[in-house]
Amino acid sequence: MPESFAERLLHWYDCHGRKNLPWHHNRSPYRVWLSEIMLQQTQVATVIPYYQAFMARFPEVRALAEAPIDDVLGHWSGLGYYARARNLQKAAQTIVQDHQGEFPADQEQLEALPGIGRSTAAAILAQAFGQRATILDGNVKRVLARHHAVPGWTGQTRVQSQLWMHAETHTPDHRIRDYTQAIMDLGAIVCTRSRPDCEHCPLATTCLAYQRGETKLYPAPKPKKVKPEKTTWVVILEDSEGRVLLERRPPSGIWGGLWSLPELDAAYNAEELSDACERSFGFDCGDAQPDAGFRHTFSHYHLHIQPARLAVASGATRSTIADRDDHRWVYRDDALALGLPAPIRILLSSPAQPVLL
C-alpha cells in the first residue's frame, strides 16, 4: 500500500526537518505561542534574535502581562506589524486574569484570545499539548495549493475553505507535533514561493501542480492594487540639553502605541515649519533644517517621509508639553531603547543629511 501524504512528509522530516530552532526546546504553550505570533509574515532568520531577547526579558506569561507596554514595544521594535505585540500583552493579561496564568488547551478558548486565529490556536494545541489539530499558515497554504492544484489567491474565502478541507484530511492522528512542524518546514525549505525544489520533495509523485508542470501557477498571487502615496514632515525638535521631543501614536492604526517623532502636514513649506511647531507645541524654534527624505512602504500605502531638524530656543516654555502624557522629552540613547518605528529609529541614530530646498 502506498505511503500516505503524512507518512511521506514525516519520513522527510526525520531526515531534513528543522529540529533545533529556539522554540523547539521545551515546547511550552507560551514559547510556541510567542514563536507563532512572531513568525507571522516574518522570516525565521529575522525572528530568532527577537525571540531570544523577548524570552530573556519576558520568560513567562505573567512577566509579559505585567510589563510596561513601552518595554514590550521596545523589544518588538523592528519586527513591524505592531498590533501583534499589543495583542500579545492583551492575551497574556487575559490568560493571567481569566485562566490563572495557564493557557487553555481548547481551540475555542484559544481563539477567543486577542491575536490568536484558527491556525495559531491549532499550532499551540498540536505543538504544546500534542492534540490533533489542523494548521494552515502561509507555508502550508502553498504546499496544499500546489499539491491539489487549488486555483485562486489563498486569501479568498472559497480558496481557504478548500485548503482547510485538504489540511484536515492530511493531518494524522499520531506524531502530531512532528507533522505540524514538518509541513511548515516543507513550505519553508522545499516548496518555496519561487524556485521550489520539486525534485527533492517527498510529495512530488502526487503533487498535481508538479505533475502538470504548473508549480508557478499555484497559489495564485494576491490581486495587485496601486498603493496610494502620502507625504509628511517628520520634525526632530531638539532642546538645549540635547533631548528630542517624542509623541506617542494613537493606540490603533499605523505604529499604534509606539513613540515617534511629531509629524506636520506636508502642505507646509520649510520656512513655515517653525511657526507650525510654535502653534502645535507652544515654544519657539529656530529655522527648520530639512534632511534627505525617503520612502517607507506599509502594506496598504507608501509614505514619503521628509525629515526636518529644529532647535528649540533656550528657555522656551514647554509647559504645554509637560502636562501631556502623549509627549516626552528624551535623550537620544534613551529614545532608542523605546518602542520606535523602524524609520524613526533610523532618523534618530543617523547623522543629519542636510538638503537644499
User: Per-residue pLDDT tens for 310-323?
Assistant: 999 865 545 455 54
Cβ neighbours, 10 Å, residue 250: 10
Catalytically annotated residues: 36
| 304 Cβ contact partners less than 8 Å away, ≥ 6 residues apart | 229, 230, 231, 232, 266, 293, 294, 295
Confidence at 165, pLDDT banded by 50, 70, 90? very high
- Residue 202 phi/psi, 5-degree rounding, is -70, -10
| Per-residue pLDDT, 317 | 46
| Per-residue pLDDT, 324 | 66
Q: How far apart are CA 220 and CA 145, in angstroms?
A: 9
The string of DSSP codes covering 21-74 is: SGGGSS--HHHHHHHHHHTTTS-HHHHHHHHHHHHHH--SHHHHHHS-HHHHHH
**Confidence (pTM):** 0.84
Higher pLDDT residue, 227 or 167? 167
CA of residue 109 relative to chain centroid, distance: 23
Q: How far apart are CA 199 and CA 181, in angstroms?
A: 21
Q: What is the largest CA-CA distance in the chain?
A: 85
Please give the CATH topology (third level) of the domain spanning 5-217. Answer: Endonuclease III; domain 1 (1.10.340)
The vertex-36 CA angle with 157 and 71, nearest 5°, equals 120
Q: How far apart are CA 290 and CA 355, in angstroms?
A: 6
Q: How far apart are CA 341 and CA 212, in angstroms?
A: 45
State mean pLDDT over 163-175.
97
Cβ neighbours, 10 Å, residue 174: 10
| Per-residue pLDDT, 353 | 57
75's grid cell: 523589544
Confidence at 47, pLDDT banded by 50, 70, 90? very high
Asked whether 215 and 143 are in contact (CB, 8 A), the reply is: no
State mean pLDDT over 155-181.
97
- % residues pLDDT > 90 (the chain): 80
Please give the CATH topology (third level) of the domain spanning 229-349. Answer: Nucleoside Triphosphate Pyrophosphohydrolase (3.90.79)
Out of 171-185, 219-233, 337-351, pick the least confident.
337-351
Cis peptide before 219 (omega within 30 of 0): yes
Cβ neighbours, 10 Å, residue 31: 21
Higher pLDDT residue, 60 or 318? 60
Domain boundaries, the chain: 5-217, 229-349
- Residue 177 phi/psi, 5-degree rounding, is -60, -50
Which amino acid belongs to residue 120?
A: T
